Amino acid sequence: MLTSFGESHGKAVGGVLDGFPANLEIDPSFIQSELDRRRPGVEFYASSRKEEDKIEILSGIYNGRSTGAPIAFLVYNHDHRPDDYDHLTDVYRPSHADFTWQQKYGIRDPRGGGRSSARETLVRVAAGAFARILLKTRNIEVNARVTRIGEFFVGEYRTEEYRTTECRTVDHGGKPKRASGLDDPLLLDYLEQLKSAGDTTGGVIACSITGVPAGLGEPVFDKLQADLAKAMLGINAVKGFEYGSGFGAAAMKGSEHNDPFVKEGGVIKTSSNHSGGIQGGISNGGEIYFNVAFKPVSTLMMDQATVNAAGDAVTLQGRGRHDVCVVPRAVVIVEAMAALVMADHLLR
């Protein structure tokens, strides 16, 4: 449904959304507002790059409604600063795509990571905003939030249903720390220390999709969870995906894990939801929920050892400013990709 194009410091990034239904009211300010959500106010989460990111819709809308024709949109890049990247033309930044792109294509646009820059996700957010307009007409809602940043669990503990996934004590020794929210002083202090050290951290985002009718998803190859997994692993920096009981299921018994069917208010539903709202690849009408793990930002503000194209050892200097943690900015991306998957299955 979505084709995207554009490099971080090329002329523009944009996309074409094909197959979007006709006759839906499109409010361009909603699309723009979703893009704006990529820049939360907390400084540790914001890159220093200053782009207005004003979206321009080029086609597919007439008199405020979609026409069924492809919707093309783009955002021109104003903050080129091409000379900022001269020093990178020949250097492979650790855990970036410089080396692999060069191996695959024998050429790459080194300016700001070129095509492999996270700036490309802007296109997905815009496309996801269109998808959400469609989903809203069916009362389907997609909501994500940060549940972890580095050593901290973030936010309210969830209900019993989510216990398994929420409390995963992934490997940082000692007890997990808890932050009431993204603005918890304990968390901000932690991030301040990382920033001072020129370092970064990762996190986890949980996403919930409600209002989904039973019957979406294909039973074998395009299972709903498989398409969600692909969409999430397609986001830069994502390292893992689990839905429903997730990795916790490995340690459970079948008698604990099975979700009994009951009839309530004339509707057949499950009384627990380890299934994560999907059974046999097809939605069952319950809430769909999943977790997405992000690695730490690879661009550090400290010096790093690496090699150049010739294989010579060089030092990559940490300079400029960058996100300490992208996870809060990624919430809207997770929502957008989830919305695109749901829209895609809704339209089959």
User: Which residues from 61-90 bind a copy of itself, rule CB under 8 A?
Assistant: 62, 65-72, 74
Distance CA 330, CA 334 (A): 6
> What are φ and ψ of residue 217, in 5° steps?
110, 155
If one asks whether residue 171 binds a copy of itself (CB under 8 A), the answer comes out as yes
> Binding a copy of itself by CB under 8 A: which of 12, 42, 188, 346?
12
The SS3 assignment for 131 reads helix
- To a copy of itself, the closest distance from the beta carbon of 284 in angstroms equals 5
**Subset of residues 285 to 304 that bind a copy of itself, contact rule: CB under 8 A:** 285, 291, 293-300, 302, 304
**Residue nearer to a copy of itself on the CB measure, 170 or 186:** 170
**Residue nearer to a copy of itself on the CB measure, 45 or 92:** 92
Q: Which amino acid belongs to residue 76?
A: Y
> Binding a copy of itself by CB under 8 A: which of 247, 317, 319, 320?
247
> Binding a copy of itself by CB under 8 A: which of 78, 138, 230, 319?
230
Q: Which two tokens stand for residue 238?
A: 């994502």
> Binding a copy of itself by CB under 8 A: which of 33, 137, 139, 169?
169
**Subset of residues 196 to 225 that bind a copy of itself, contact rule: CB under 8 A:** 197, 199-204, 214-217, 219-223, 225
Q: Which amino acid belongs to residue 103?
A: Q
- To a copy of itself, the closest distance from the beta carbon of 344 in angstroms equals 12
Distance CA 43, CA 142 (A): 26
Distance CA 250, CA 173 (A): 21
Q: Which two tokens stand for residue 53?
A: 């990111």
- To a copy of itself, the closest distance from the beta carbon of 33 in angstroms equals 21
- To a copy of itself, the closest distance from the beta carbon of 183 in angstroms equals 19
If one asks whether residue 241 binds a copy of itself (CB under 8 A), the answer comes out as yes
**Subset of residues 87 to 126 that bind a copy of itself, contact rule: CB under 8 A:** 92, 94-97, 99-101, 103-109, 114-116, 120
If one asks whether residue 306 binds a copy of itself (CB under 8 A), the answer comes out as yes
> Binding a copy of itself by CB under 8 A: which of 137, 138, 139, 167?
167
What's the sign of the alpha-carbon dihedral 84, 86, 91, 95?
A: positive
**Subset of residues 269 to 288 that bind a copy of itself, contact rule: CB under 8 A:** 270, 274-276, 278-285
Query: Which residues share a beta bridge with 142?
Result: 209
If one asks whether residue 40 binds a copy of itself (CB under 8 A), the answer comes out as no
7 and 114 Cβ atoms separated by less than 8 Å: yes
Q: What is the CA radius of gyration of the chain?
A: 21
**Residue nearer to a copy of itself on the CB measure, 219 or 320:** 219
The long-range contacts involving 119-122, CB below 8 angstroms and separated by at least 24 positions, are: 119/6, 119/8, 119/13, 119/77, 120/4, 120/6, 120/8, 120/13, 120/236, 121/38, 121/235, 121/236, 121/330, 121/333, 122/13, 122/35, 122/38, 122/53, 122/75
If one asks whether residue 234 binds a copy of itself (CB under 8 A), the answer comes out as yes
